[in-house]
Structure 1
Amino acid sequence: MVRVIMGVKGTGKTKQMIELINSAVHSENGNVVCIERGGKLTYDIHSKIRLIEASQYDMTDLTFMKGFISGLYAGNYDITHVFIDSLPKIVGVDANDHSVEEFLDWLNNFSEKNSIKFTVTISADKELAGEGVRKYF
């Protein structure tokens, strides 16, 4: 399952993400991971959440992100939920680029094969989102 939270800056995406992350600690039976850029969630999320600061890994594109997620799972089969905060900012792509839709489809397939939930935030106008992104709202 992939869920996308999308909206322009200031619409409460991060607040909603923090609430979902903190509730996942109590509702998930496995490990919960959050990938972010900038360390802004450090003090807002539960200490049991594995927080990954993406800029330490020089993620330059969505192919790198696919490998990173695959590696995370290969190293820990107990992961049940991965949160990705501000996907386009982490990998440096435009939110409306077709590659984001392709990545979300890949993520959905990965999710189904491995029984992992993914929640992704994208900072952009949701009215401009393509159908490939909208299906994950």
Structure 2
Amino acid sequence: MVQLIVGNKGKGKTKCLLNKVNTEVKNILGNVVFLDRNTKHMFELNNKVRLIVVPEFMIENSDEFIGFVSGVISQDHDLQQMYFDGFLSIACLEGKDITSTIEKLDRLGEKFNVDFVLSVSMDESELPEAVKSKVVTAL
């Protein structure tokens, strides 16, 4: 399952995402991973959450990003949730159509029983129709 937290820059998506991950990690049995652009929020995350700084892995396009996410999933059979802060940036999708990448994440989630929560720096009205149903919070 893919859930989107959407809103323009500076609207509070990251705070919402951090609150969600820190609440959820207390209630689930599996592992939780948080993908981000940097370590800025490291001390705001519960210590049970694994932080991965995506730019350290030299990802250059959305296909490489999906491969990276697949690799994370393949190495952790207890993985239950993944959170992506700054999704457009870490997935190399700024200014591009996000539909295909969201669909691939959805298929990965179904196949491997992993939930994805993404913060997307777009207004809800700018989202492609195909992904609007996945919005859980619009700021």
Superposed pair shares fold, TM > 0.5? yes
Residue 91 in 1 paired to residue 100 in 2?
A: no
CA distance in 1, matches of 2:128, 2:94: 13
Name structure 2 gaps, 5 residues minimum: none
Aligned to 2:111: 113
CA distance in 2, matches of 1:93, 1:2: 16
Spell out the pairing of 1:74-89 with structure 2 (5 A cutoff): 74-89=74-89
Aligned to 2:2: 2
Residues 64-92 of structure 1, C-alpha deviations (whole Å, 9 max, x = no match): 11111111111111000000111111133
CA distance in 1, matches of 2:52, 2:20: 17
Q: What TM-score do the two structures reach when normalised by structure 2? A: 0.92
Q: Secondary structure at the match of 1:89?
A: helix
Identity %: 27
What one-letter code is carried by the residue in structure 1 that aligns with 2:71?
Answer: G
Spell out the pairing of 1:1-137 with structure 2 (5 A cutoff): 1-95=1-95, 97-98=96-97, 100-137=98-135
CA distance in 2, matches of 1:57, 1:93: 16
What one-letter code is carried by the residue in structure 2 that aligns with 1:3?
Answer: Q
Equivalent pairs, count: 135
CA distance in 1, matches of 2:101, 2:28: 24
Q: Secondary structure at the match of 2:25?
A: helix
Shift in Å at residue 94 of structure 1?
2.2
Q: What TM-score do the two structures reach when normalised by structure 1? A: 0.93
Shift in Å at residue 41 of structure 1?
1.3
CA distance in 2, matches of 1:124, 1:38: 20
CA RMSD after TM alignment: 1.1
CA distance in 2, matches of 1:130, 1:59: 24
CA distance in 2, matches of 1:24, 1:64: 28
